[in-house]
């Protein structure tokens, strides 16, 4: 039976992730939008999409969803964060007092490439994927520090842009904005 996949639907590119999961062959009736702790209890893995981290952090705390996500992660639920999602998973955000879930032992730098005019796309080799992936970076963060247990899956010009520890995965870029479903399939098999 296919896993029940949740996509955090508080704000951001959640609809695009749902489209990518369907494109990756996942049954549409086993994809859920997650807004509350009750929604989370229906799923056995979670994608945190791109969006604005301050907005999502605030509303997650408001509903208590932050605590339930942390509990489920500690019980082994796979989570994948893209862009803002990776910021949410981080232990620390550089130069800012900012809420995060502290599920990956990494420090992230927000908007590491600068304003929107510096957004870009490229092809990236990622450990565990057969082909280089189409990667769209939008006001993207990078990983500036990580614990020894965290595996680096990909770099862009020596900057870390994809990491994994156990079943927690973080990427700076947005596979959900492309038709490339390699990472979605990778996550579904995690």
Give the residues lining the site for another protein (CB under 8 A): 9-16, 35, 50-52, 54-55, 58-59, 62, 83-84, 96, 110-111, 114-122, 124-125, 127, 136-139, 152, 154-158, 174, 177-178
Q: How far is the CB of 60 from another protein (least distance, A)?
A: 10
Q: How far is the CB of 50 from another protein (least distance, A)?
A: 5
Q: Which is nearer to another protein, 2 or 118 (CB)?
A: 118
Q: Judge whether 146 counts as a catalytic residue.
A: no
Question: Residues 83, 94, 149, 165: which is the catalytic one?
Answer: 83
Tell me the C-alpha distance between 125 and 113, whole Å. 19
Q: Which is nearer to another protein, 2 or 114 (CB)?
A: 114
E strand or H helix at 15, and its extent?
A: helix 14-23
Q: Which is nearer to another protein, 2 or 62 (CB)?
A: 62
Question: Residues 17, 26, 146, 176: which is the catalytic one?
Answer: 176
Q: Which is nearer to another protein, 62 or 67 (CB)?
A: 62
CA-CA-CA-CA torsion sign (55, 58, 60, 63): negative
Question: Cβ(76)–Cβ(165) under 8 Å?
Answer: no
Show the tokens assigned to 168.
């927690």
Instruction: Strands of 5-158 (E only): list them.
Output: 5-8, 31-34, 45-48, 79-82, 90-93, 104-109, 120-124, 133-137, 142-146, 151-156
E strand or H helix at 163, and its extent?
A: strand 159-165
Q: Judge whether 165 counts as a catalytic residue.
A: no
Q: Judge whether 94 counts as a catalytic residue.
A: no
Q: How far is the CB of 76 from another protein (least distance, A)?
A: 27
Which active-site residues does the annotation give?
83, 174, 176
């Amino acid at each position: 039976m296919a896993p029940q996949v949740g996509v955090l639907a508080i704000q951001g590119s959640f609809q695009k992730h749902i489209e990518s999961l369907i494109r990756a062959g996942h049954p549409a009736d086993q994809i859920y939008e997650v807004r509350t702790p009750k929604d989370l209890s229906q799923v056995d893995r979670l994608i945190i999409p791109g969006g604005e981290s301050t907005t999502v952090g605030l509303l997650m705390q408001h509903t208590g969803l932050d605590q339930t996500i942390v509990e489920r992660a500690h019980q082994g639920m796979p989570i994948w964060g893209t862009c803002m999602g990776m910021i949410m998973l981080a232990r620390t955000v550089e130069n800012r007092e900012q809420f995060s879930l502290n599920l990956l032992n990494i420090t992230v730098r927000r908007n590491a490439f600068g304003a929107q005019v510096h957004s870009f796309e490229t092809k990236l080799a990622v450990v565990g994927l057969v082909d280089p992936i189409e990667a769209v970076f939008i006001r993207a963060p990078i990983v500036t520090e990580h614990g020894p247990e965290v595996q680096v899956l990909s770099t862009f010009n020596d900057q870390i842009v994809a990491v994994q520890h156990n079943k927690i995965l973080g990427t700076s870029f947005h596979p959900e904005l492309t038709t490339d479903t390699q990472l979605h399939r990778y996550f579904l098999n995690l």
